[in-house]
Amino acid sequence: MPTLTIIQAINAALDEEMARDTRVMVLGEDVGKRGGVFLATEGLQQKYGPDRVMDTPLSEAAIIGAAVGMAAHGMRPVAEIQFADYVFPGFDQLVSQAAKLRYRSGGQFTAPMVVRMPTGGGVKGGHHHSQSPEAHFAHTAGLKVVVVSGPYDTKGLLKSAIRDDDPVVFMEPKRLYRAVKEEVPSQEYLIPIGKAAIRRQGHDLTLISYGGSMVETQKAAEELAGVGISAEVIDLRTVMPWDKEAVLASVARTGRALVIAEAPRMASVASEVAATIAEELLDQLEAPPLRVTGFDTPYPYAQDKLYMPTVTRILNAAKRVLDY
């Protein structure tokens, strides 16, 4: 079984889906000849031609907006936005067109499309190469939002996203692109959108995270194990719709929860998860659900690593809920 990085898993998923379904096509800046700035689409244009792996003008509005029209016309476009930080010129196309097409037409037109984007910090990119804007999309009715953390999930979830009948924002933590390797089956498999994964079983508290912060979350769980504290670790994988059932089932058992994500705290996905835990499990909690998140500043350059939830910050929060 091949060992792949996330980048290679994306490439494999796109390759398999394009081979399976001629409606699937890829478009974006530099995705063709260059194979994508992160090389996620490397070799695909040679294999499938410039029409199905299309280099586009430098316009996120054109990329996402055209994908809406293509999808409505029967294609299954996979648009690449070079950095999540640059989705905003195309934001109106995602929010006003893609997200609302099915609804506003009463189900007559649909936009089955995927918008891939590298997300998150830790790569010394400053605020325009490091942001985690998933809350904008999760807040928009009509979009599904996936944030992956490993190669195996990436392949299975990207394939599911391509086959989904609704627009899916597919976010890839760029700092993990080549930092995580995993055995990824070359055979067909799908991971359902909306299902979390239990990464570690435990009974003292539940650590809920997704995307890049899964690294620090896993490490924090190991540190806790070292002092005899058993943490359950949940990787949400999809943040809209996030797996409420899995989260509540775990927290109902442990009575304590941390929600960890590097996106800014204000009005975040982490806030939504924490609020739901408080609403639904209040009298089963032994401590308030705490959020360990990025800060409400623009993403800084110099304090690149300090901005994201560190293992220490997670452990401090864990101590707070355990001592509560």
Q: Looking only at residues 65 through 94 of this chain, which bind another protein when binding is defined by CB under 8 A?
A: 65-75, 77, 89, 92-93
Is the Cβ–Cβ distance between 200 and 232 less than 8 Å?
yes
The Cβ-side half-sphere exposure at 114, using a 13 Å CA radius, reads: 27
Q: Which is nearer to another protein, 67 or 87 (CB)?
A: 67
DSSP code of residue 203: S
Should residue 302 be labelled a site residue for another protein when binding is judged by CB under 8 A? no
Q: Which is nearer to another protein, 177 or 291 (CB)?
A: 177
129 is catalytic: yes
Whole-number minimum distance, CB 177 to another protein, in Å? 4
Should residue 199 be labelled a site residue for another protein when binding is judged by CB under 8 A? yes
Should residue 227 be labelled a site residue for another protein when binding is judged by CB under 8 A? yes
Should residue 104 be labelled a site residue for another protein when binding is judged by CB under 8 A? yes
- Separation in Å, CA 17 to CA 50, 75, 293: 17, 13, 35
Whole-number minimum distance, CB 20 to another protein, in Å? 16
The Cβ-side half-sphere exposure at 199, using a 13 Å CA radius, reads: 24
Should residue 127 be labelled a site residue for another protein when binding is judged by CB under 8 A? no
Give the helix ranges, DSSP H, for the chain. 6-20, 44-48, 60-72, 91-92, 101-104, 134-138, 151-163, 214-226, 244-254, 269-281, 304-307, 311-322
Q: Which range in 10-18, 241-249, 262-270, 290-298 contacts another protein by CB under 8 A? A: 241-249
- Interface residue with another protein among 21, 43, 47, 241 (CB under 8 A) is 241
- Residue from 72, 60, 39 nearest 166 by CA: 72
Should residue 307 be labelled a site residue for another protein when binding is judged by CB under 8 A? no
Site string for another protein, 31-60 (x = CB under 8 A): ------xxx-----------xx-x-xx-x-
Should residue 109 be labelled a site residue for another protein when binding is judged by CB under 8 A? yes
CA dihedral sign, ordered 177, 178, 179, 180: positive
Q: Which residues are catalytic?
A: 129
